[in-house]
Amino acid sequence: MPLVSGDELLPRARRGGYAVGAFSIHTPEMVDAVFLAGEALRAPVILQVGRRAVRHSGLEACCGWVRARAAASPVPACLHLDHAQSLEAIVQGIRAGCTSVMYDGSELPFADNIRETAAIARVCRAAGVPLEAEVGRVAGVEDDLSVQEAEARLAGPADCARFVAETGCDALAPAVGNVHGLGGETPRLRLDLLRAVAAAVALPLVLHGGSGLDAGQMAAAAAAGIAKINIDTELRRAFVGGLGAGLAAFGPQDDPAPALAAGALAVRQQVEARIRDFGSAGKA
């Protein structure tokens, strides 16, 4: 079926108490794996294109893989541009066929983030494409944060409510203890803070840095108002691990297809596990 807008998936997920998986893709094999997982479990899926994939393969190519595969799939799928940091990048994503985009102004001072996000939201609204934005700073595994520094990056409910009111964004990604990437101890979500943000903001909420979180935290986050959970690092690790196992199993040869298929299967299995964790199986 044709790609659907994020607005067709996320409000329904928030009302239903489940989350739609937003899976970052880096190769055509990963795209197919995400669709196969969604089709097997009758789950809606979001396929994300981020800066790493764009640097490697180009925006048009990545979006083209998703558009072509979506046309042959019976499950609703959204194509999302992740972590764009300029209006130019947002416009490029919309022109490439993205049906959802994210502007990341979280590195800016709060007032500047509001101003820039509001300007981009007006452009997205005119184009009919929903906009996700971020409040607070989601740490990365490379960050060496003290507890006080980590706490200072969290998103408060009052700031979230003000941000939504003044920007007109369509989905909000608050920093609630989540961490980008994998490494070190398993992050612990501040579910109390997430519930307070959800009480202050009626929009669908987004959880960045879903890789590495356990199933219990995923379910609790969805019940608390998270409608979209981003998964990237664990899919890249699954693909590379499966690819390596495939190369080892098939030995020296000049056909890459078996090893690529092994990498794709590892991704599919990981995506299926996460769809179950998010509660989105059977929601297509």
List the CATH number of the domain containing 235.
3.20.20.70
In the three-class reduction of DSSP (H, G, I as helix; E, B as strand; rest coil), residue 261 is classed as helix
d(CA 103, CA 134): 7
Residue 146: inside a domain, yes or no? yes
d(CA 218, CA 226): 9
* Nearest residue to 173 (alpha-carbon basis) of 200, 210, 133: 133
Number of domains in the chain: 1
**Worst-scoring range by mean pLDDT, 96-110, 149-163, 166-180, 204-218?**
149-163
- 210 or 48: which leads in pLDDT: 48
Residue 35: inside a domain, yes or no? yes
Residue 97: inside a domain, yes or no? yes
Q: Please tell me the pTM assigned to this model.
A: 0.91
**Mind giving me the DSSP string for 119-185?**
HHHHHHHHHT--EEEEES--EETT----HHHHHHTSPPHHHHHHHHHHH--SEEEE-SS-EES--SS
Residue 1: inside a domain, yes or no? no
Q: How confident is the model at residue 151 (pLDDT cuts 50, 70, 90)?
A: very low
State mean pLDDT over 85-103.
97
Residue 216: inside a domain, yes or no? yes
Residue 284: inside a domain, yes or no? no
Residue 185: inside a domain, yes or no? yes
The predicted structure's pLDDT at residue 152: 47
Catalytic residue ranges: 82
Residue 283: inside a domain, yes or no? no
Domain holding 226, by residue range, is 6-278
Encoding tokens for residue 10? Answer: 């996320």
d(CA 70, CA 47): 10
